[in-house]
Every structure is written in C-alpha cells, then in structure tokens.
Structure 1
Amino acid sequence: MRVCFELQVKPERLAEYTARHAAVWPEMLAAIADAGRRNYSLFLRPDGLLIGYYETDDDDAAQRALAADPRTTRWEADMAEFFVAEVGRPDQEAPRLTEVFNLENQLARTPSGSDRA
C-alpha cells in the first residue's frame, strides 16, 4: 500500500529541518525499515508544507512498531520542535492524504494499446 501524509514545518526552521534530514540517524533509518516502510520520501515546500510518501504492506502494524520503538521515540522527540503545533506526536498523527490516481493501477486495467495513440 502507498501512504501519503502532510505536516507543517515552522518556516523559520526550514533550513535546520532540511539539514537534519540530509543525514538521518542510522538507528532511525533502521527503525523505519524494520517497521516495514520502504520507498520513503519527504518533500518540502518553501512555506513549510511537508508531504511524506512511503510504501508498506500493513500501515497499522508499521505505525504500532514505530510507536513502540525507542529509536523512534528519541528521533520524534528531537524533531517535534520543528512542526507547527499538532495534537499528539507529529510523525504518528500526521493527516493521511487520499490517493485519487495511480498510473500503474490504471495502465494495468487498460487493455494493451487500446486507449493509446
């Protein structure tokens, strides 16, 4: 499954947020992979809008694994100050975006070549 989420980084903290993500702690990278997330990317707009994307087989299980992992707790505590105030832990409570289009899914449903010029 593909998961996309959004958060808001404080505009005055964008440079530091970006710098910290240039070299994420190896133990945090391992925690993400151990939880079953893959193809994980973050995209940041100049106004601080952060869009995250990852793939996983079971997002609920991945969320539970990360929430229980002390490596994640330490990273999230360190990063929480970068986000505009949200309820709960920002990385765990980020609103999910609904996928409305996926090229590969639609191509798979289209008879080969029949809808292409």
Structure 2
Amino acid sequence: MRRVCFLLRVRPERMAEYRERHREVWPEMRRALRETGWGNYTLFLADDGLLVGYLETPDWDAARRGMRDREVNDRWQAEMAEFFTALDGRDPDEAMRPLTEVFHLD
C-alpha cells in the first residue's frame, strides 16, 4: 500500500466556504474515490490556507487515472478549482504532487 501526501493552498477568503463544501461531499464523489482506490483519504486545512492531503492506495497512478475517467470528478474539480491558488490552469487533481516519504513508524 502506498501512502501519498500532497500540499495545495486554499485562498484565505474562501477557506470557510471550502470547509463547508467538504461537510457534504457528494455521495457519488465519495463512491468514485472508494472505487478507484483512494483509501483513508483525509484533508487537513491550516489557518493560513495550507491544505495537506493524505491517502493510501495500492497504485497512485491508477487511482488518479480512475478519477480522471469519472464524470463526477470533472464536475467536482471544476467547482473546486476556484478555491485554490497557484494551479496554473490545472485542476486541483493535476496540481497534486506527492511529497517524498522520509520516515514511517508502523
């Protein structure tokens, strides 16, 4: 199982709305994440807008490809893109760059 951690930055003026949107993630989006291998998926948001994402998956590339092929993900990414800084024209999923794991205590 691969552990994946990534960082994004939420616009400070949109943080409250970002939190609110994640209180009620669409059921079909939750289902798509599970079906494509996004296990133990967790988002953490710092007071300065730093978003830390963590997930576990057997195959990171396959998990990302699986979500790219889902229509619900297209809709979700289109709605979420406006919340982030520095996407450079990419959707949030494309902007995710996993951090290098340097230690893990099992």
TM-score, length-scaled by structure 1: 0.86
Whether the 8 Å contact between 1:67 and 1:92 is mirrored in structure 2 is no
1:81-100 equivalent positions in 2, closer than 5 A: 81-87=82-88, 88-100=90-102
Structure 1 distance, partners of 2:6, 2:81, is 16
Instruction: Report the secondary structure of 2:102's partner residue.
Output: coil
8 Å CA contact 1:37–1:62 kept in 2: the answer is yes
- Unpaired stretches in structure 2, ≥5 consecutive residues: none
Structure 1 unaligned segments of length 5 or more: list them.
Answer: 105-117
Q: Over residues 85-117 of structure 1, what are the superposed CA-to-partner deviations in whole Å (9 max), with x where a residue is unaligned?
A: 31311123212111111001xxxxxxxxxxxxx
Shift of 1:66: 0.5
Q: Any residues of structure 2 matched to 1:1-117 within 5 Å, and which?
A: 1-87=2-88, 88-104=90-106
- CA–CA distance in structure 2, aligned partners of residues 78 and 50 of structure 1: 17
Larger Rg: 1
State the SS of the aligned residue for 2:24: coil
Task: Determine the structure 2 residue equivalent to 1:108.
Answer: none
**What amino acid is the match of 1:97?**
L
Identity among equivalent positions (%) equals 54
Relative to the length of structure 2, the TM-score reads 0.94
Cα deviations by residue, 1:13-68 (Å, 9 ceiling, x for unpaired): 00000011011010100110011111000000011000000000011001101011
Structure 1 ranges of 4+ moved more than 2 A: none
> How large is the Cα RMSD of the aligned pairs?
0.8
Aligned residues: 104
